[in-house]
Chains A and B, each alone.
Chain A
Amino acid sequence: MKNLFLSVVLLLTVSFAFANNEVEKVSIFNIEETLELTNSVELTTFDFTAENYSITKVVGTCYITLSFYGEDGEHLATHTLAFEGVANEQECSDLADRFAALL
């Protein structure tokens, strides 16, 4: 009887011990997975934003205004030109300088 009682106690202790370990393992696994998932979402969001920003710059339009004056300083005409595919303001400004040199 005494032996039976000891066996039952041992079985119960081992069972509880294994049961505790399993819960902990599941918990650790879940945290890592959540972290990975979070990182993945953040990365994707960042890439998407960067891509959008880049697209906006690449398809930019640069407007250059040309004003013509006669020999006596009288205004003759004003024309506005549109240059497509200009990356930034500096490029637009350089374009204006280069175009002025052609005139």
Chain B
Amino acid sequence: MRHLFILYISILFFTHLNAQEQNDIIVTYDIHYNTELPNTKLGTLLISKKKSVFIIKRNEKENEKKITVKDNNITIKSKSNKQRFVYFDYEKDTILTTVNLFSKNYLIKEELPKINWNLLNEKKKIGNLNVQKATTKFRGRNYIAWYSLNYPIKFGPWKFHGLPGLIIEIYDESNRYHWVLKTINNNENSSFNLNKKDYKEISLKEYVKIRYSDSPNFLTAKLPRGTKIVSSKISPRNSIEIKFEWEEEKKKQ
């Protein structure tokens, strides 16, 4: 009877441990942004059964100044004191992404996008991990991904998902955006509190309108009387997403 009790406790313990291994995994990535102001950030992917969240944190070494003034040139970097993340909800089939634009915090709500992966036979080793190659085109950029079947997890950094294994490394063909796995850990206390109150919820279409708007309304309101905007140059689409599904559909028609 005593032996039976110990066996029962042991089964319970190992089942519980196994469940945690599958459901609570923390993966960290180094994110390299080779943009006009190159910088590196730290991404943390928290994975549970039907949800995952990718949290992006600033590198501590990065210059924290939001505004710099030099020779009458003012440089303004979008920086938020609120948490930056991409939240996957597979039950509701949605993604929530935060963005700070022109000093405002937004929460973009969109349907889970379909990513069509081409699984290739090419293999290599990254550290101790055997990885396989996959490619895709997503929102105007061509990506190359290396995933590991040792971790049969469909999630990845940022909005990437749907591969048969965990994404170890992914980058776009111009290497403007590059994610590389740093650590993988099992964690019992991986929790994330989604606080929607800090952000203004908008749709993906609304975001595109704000992001690529021609009129600098936010600036006009702050100008002293008699001041004029003598020239404006809006960048062509150069962010991580440059083409959207409804724009692709229009083109096909």
Contact = CB atoms under 8 A, between A and B. Distances in A.
Contact of B219 (A69, A71, A79, A92): A79
A77 B229 contact: no
B230 A66 contact: no
Interface string A83-103: 111000000110011011011
Nearest to B101: A70
A97 B77 CA distance: 16
Contacts of A70: 35, 78, 101, 239
B27 to A, nearest CB: 20
B216 interface: yes
A76 B73 contact: no
B228 A82 contact: yes
Interface stretch (A7-15, A20-28, A57-65): A57-65
Interface in B171-190: 177
Interface residues of B, number: 43
B75 A67 contact: yes
A22 B108 CA distance: 103
A82 B231 CA distance: 9
A40 interface: no
B175 to A, nearest CB: 14
Interface residues of A, number: 32
Interface string B223-251: 11011111111110011100000000000
A37 interface: no
A63 B71 CA distance: 10
A68 B238 CA distance: 13
A80 interface: yes
A76 B235 contact: yes
A79 B213 CA distance: 13
A51 interface: no
Contacts of B38: 73
Given A75-B235, A78-B233, A83 B227 contact: yes
Nearest to A76: B235
A82 B216 contact: no
A82 to B, nearest CB: 5
A74 interface: yes
B232 A77 contact: yes
Contacts of A63: 72, 230
B74 A99 contact: yes
Interface in B1-54: 33, 35-39
25 contacts: A62-B72, A63-B230, A69-B36, A69-B76, A71-B78, A71-B99, A73-B35, A73-B37, A73-B38, A73-B39, A74-B37, A74-B235, A75-B35, A76-B234, A78-B233, A79-B229, A80-B231, A81-B227, A81-B229, A83-B224, A92-B72, A93-B72, A96-B69, A97-B69, A99-B224
Interface of A: 62-85, 92-93, 96-97, 99-100, 102-103
